[in-house]
Amino acid sequence: MSVSEFESLENTLEKHIPHDELKEVKRILFGKEPKKLALPACAVEAALERDFELQGYLFEASPEQLRPPRIVRIGLIQNRIVLPTDAPVLDQINALHNRIGEMVEAAAMCGVNIVCFQEAWTMPFAFCTREKEPWTEFAESAEGGYTTQFCKKLAQKYNMVVISPILEREETNNVLWNTAVVVSNSGNVLGKTRKNHIPRVGDFNESTYYMEGNTGHRVFQTQFGKIAVNICYGRHHPLNWFMYSMNGAEIIFNPSATVGGLSEPMWSIEARNAAIANHCFTCGINRVGTEHFNNEFTSGDGKKAHQDLGHFYGSSYVAAPDGSRSPGLSRTRDGLLVTEMDLNLTRQISDKWSFKMTGRYAEYAEELTRTTREDFKPNIIKE
């Protein structure tokens, strides 16, 4: 399937549309164009050698009199799995550790301060199968598991905050969660945050494996800015983004795993809308490739059993509070997207557009409370 996959929307536009019109097309579609970031030759070379795409962009803010710029570089990593899904579990994990390790090394060359991996990055997205074994063996302790140990080493070595979304096993009671571990650049685990909304759509049978998160909308104060993690299906819920923002998030990461047939036209809309509506930066990350499973499974759509979930279309991108966005990474290749932003832009855009001030939240809190009561009567006017 991946042979025939369309590589990149942005490349096609650039290739065919004449310069003057292209400028308008890009302005309307993507907003103010972020500058390209000059990346060091060693990183460019590493990306070439290690066969992944490397792109860099810059979101600027206006100079202020009382605050210095608050510059941060973030890295988003998208990748395919390395070994077949029937390789031994530990081999699969180690192969992914190695792959991510070499990509993070390139991120470090680019001066990245915060890196985020894709959802459930240590494993194939096997929840489509509804099989418990061997997939639950990929679950690890958030605080002290094998992968968290690995991330702590990366964090310390590169002075980098590492966001590591994994399948979590709470070892005291064997409850599983879909969790992002946030490792500080000191090498300590800063905390964890769990996926708040679990899909009930298509082959995303995740509700078979884990429940809605119980960690609310916590925000992590890092040395480089206040960040939050809205995992995958949570991007469809505007209230989820909103509540991270109300707790002060300046950058909200959205590590995901989603396929072309299901969600692609929504992909460029949802995280971007959240950046606009909440005056913050948002980062969509999606894996790439098609993952094949040994046992066939059906999709509840009347079609024949098959052995894959579809094509994960990558297209990871960063959206800015001013309505602009970076180009997406490719739909087909592993990639590292490096973005530098001045976080002062979030308050500047808030002061310009004032959505938080004009939000009338007290009224909405009352209305929303009413809608959740069993005796709620919708406000409908009839003739």
383 makes contact with a second copy (CB under 8 A):
yes
* Candidate list 119, 270, 334, 342; residue touching a second copy; CB under 8 A: 270
Residues 306-365 that bind a second copy (CB under 8 A): 323-324, 352-355, 357-362, 364-365
* C-alpha–C-alpha distance, residues 39 and 123, integer Å: 30
Which one of the listed residues 232, 270, 280, 283 is annotated catalytic? 232
* C-alpha–C-alpha distance, residues 311 and 355, integer Å: 37
**Nearest C-alpha neighbor of 112 from the set 378, 295, 336:** 336
Least separation in angstroms between residue 233's CB and a second copy is 7
Residue 326 class from Cβ within 10 Å (0-12 exposed, 13-18 middle, 19+ buried)?
buried
Angle at 292 between CA 286 and CA 298, to 5 degrees: 95
Number of residues interacting with a second copy: please give it, by CB under 8 A. 83
Q: Are the beta carbons of 346 and 321 closer than 8 angstroms? A: yes
| Cβ-based nearer residue to a second copy, 68 or 378 | 378
34 makes contact with a second copy (CB under 8 A):
no
Question: Crossing angle, helix 41-49 and helix 89-109, to 10 degrees?
Answer: 150
Residues 145-184 that bind a second copy (CB under 8 A): 182, 184
Q: Are the beta carbons of 166 and 145 closer than 8 angstroms? A: yes
Least separation in angstroms between residue 291's CB and a second copy is 21
User: Catalytic site residue 270?
Assistant: no
Q: What is the DSSP letter of 129?
A: G
Least separation in angstroms between residue 117's CB and a second copy is 19
| Cβ-based nearer residue to a second copy, 297 or 353 | 353
In the shown chain, the binding pattern of residues 187 to 226 toward a second copy, with x for contact by CB under 8 A and - for none, equals: -x-xx----xxxxxxx---------x---xxxxxx----x
User: Catalytic site residue 168?
Assistant: no
Which one of the listed residues 10, 53, 119, 206 is annotated catalytic? 119
| Cβ-based nearer residue to a second copy, 140 or 322 | 322
Least separation in angstroms between residue 49's CB and a second copy is 30
242 makes contact with a second copy (CB under 8 A):
yes
Residues 276-305 that bind a second copy (CB under 8 A): 276-277
Q: What is the DSSP letter of 226?
A: E
Residues 48-87 that bind a second copy (CB under 8 A): none
* C-alpha–C-alpha distance, residues 362 and 355, integer Å: 14
| Residue 131 CA from chain centroid, whole number | 25
Which one of the listed residues 26, 152, 192, 195 is annotated catalytic? 195
Pairing of strands 53-59, 335-342: parallel
User: Catalytic site residue 140?
Assistant: no
CA distances from 261 to 6, 310, 323 (A): 13, 7, 26
Active site residues: 119, 195, 232
